[in-house]
Amino acid sequence: MVVAASAMMTFTASAQTTTMVGGEQMYPAKNIVENAVNSKDHTTLVAAVKAAGLVETLQGKGPFTVFAPVNDAFENLPDGTVETLLKPDNKATLVKVLTYHVVAGKMDFAAISAAIKKGNGSATLTTVSGGKLIAKMNGAHNITITDEGGNTANITTYDVYQSNGVIHVIDKVVLPKM
């Protein structure tokens, strides 16, 4: 009986500390890149991070908040956009697009929603690229992120904690003004 209770507590503690993303467990002891490479929903994002030379940065101490678009988000961009961005000649643009999805600091759901409340319904988040994202509540537990062009992404999975920050999965690619 004690063994069963002990095993149950261990499982419960484990379930609270990991999150399923792309069919794989994301472990809070691993960094952003170590977890992202295992998500089947983020293969395009991982390929782009590698092409941009941002692997080392996102393995760094951070903390970082990453709004991570799923593969479908990239597929919904105009035809040829991803292929064009991945070309070596377009590395600077790719870096700008990817770092537009990153905010310095560890902003989980509680922190973003508190900032929205403090901002009377919206919060302006400054990205690592220097651009702005607008966060707004859309219901009690849904936050939307709007880019500089007015395009809006929904956060579909919140608070995927990493050793160097937190990831929020989003359903669209947000784009900076170019």
Task: Please check whether residue 85 lies inside any domain of the structure.
Answer: yes
Residue 15 binned pLDDT confidence (cut-offs 50, 70, 90):
very low
pLDDT at residue 38, as a whole number: 80
Task: Please check whether residue 68 lies inside any domain of the structure.
Answer: yes
Average pLDDT over residues 68-96: 93
Percentage of the chain exceeding pLDDT 90:
62
Residue 22 binned pLDDT confidence (cut-offs 50, 70, 90):
low
Residue 67 binned pLDDT confidence (cut-offs 50, 70, 90):
very high
pLDDT at residue 23, as a whole number: 66
Task: Please check whether residue 90 lies inside any domain of the structure.
Answer: yes
Task: Please check whether residue 30 lies inside any domain of the structure.
Answer: yes
Task: Please check whether residue 8 lies inside any domain of the structure.
Answer: no
How many domains in the chain? Answer: 1
Residue 25 binned pLDDT confidence (cut-offs 50, 70, 90):
confident
The number of angstroms, rounded, from the C-alpha of 62 to the middle of its chain's C-alpha atoms is 14
Q: Is the pLDDT of residue 1 over 60?
A: no
For residue 143, what is the domain's CATH number? Answer: 2.30.180.10
| DSSP H helical ranges for the chain | 2-17, 32-36, 43-52, 55-58, 71-75, 81-85, 91-99, 109-118
Task: Please check whether residue 17 lies inside any domain of the structure.
Answer: no
Residue 2 binned pLDDT confidence (cut-offs 50, 70, 90):
very low
* pLDDT tens, position by position, 143-173: 999 999 999 999 999 998 988 999 999 999 9
Q: Does 25 or 70 have the greater pLDDT score?
A: 70
Residue 164 C-beta-side C-alpha neighbours within 13 Å: 20
Specify which residues 127 forms β-bridges with.
103
| Cα–Cα distance, 93 to 76 (Å, whole number) | 19
Is residue 112 within 8 A of residue 123, CB to CB? The reply is yes
